[in-house]
Amino acid sequence: MKLLLDENLSRRLVPALQEAFAGTRHVQDLGLQGASDVSLWALAGREGYVLTSKDDDFRQMSLLRGAPPKVLVLAIGNGGNDVVLGLLASNRARIEAFEADALESLLVLRRTRD
């Protein structure tokens, strides 16, 4: 399963995610920095990415349009890369089940406060 990281997530996450989520890319690496949400939506759907973002706009698009693409929203506030990596790693099985479920189009993962 491959993730497409929106520009509100660091492109430095990509190498760290390759083992768990092979094929993961960042929009900047695809030449899509500054692209519209609709353009990212179309690319993710066409190329089989799980669109991954902290942006509520994609949550709304998912609720209105359904999949594809599947949308993974990280509700982490200002959490940094360590928070993102920890959340994705600790929810890997849940993300894989979401990706495999033909009926689900949106998964929201929330940061747990220590």
CA distance 97 to 102: 10
Q: CA end-to-end span of the chain, whole Å?
A: 29
Whether residue 85 has pLDDT greater than 90: yes
- Give residue-wise pLDDT tens across range 62-73: 999 989 999 999
Residue 114: which pLDDT band, with cuts at 50, 70 and 90? Answer: low
Domain ranges of the chain: 3-110
**pTM for this structure?**
0.94
Q: Give the other-Cβ count within 10 Å of 82's Cβ.
A: 9
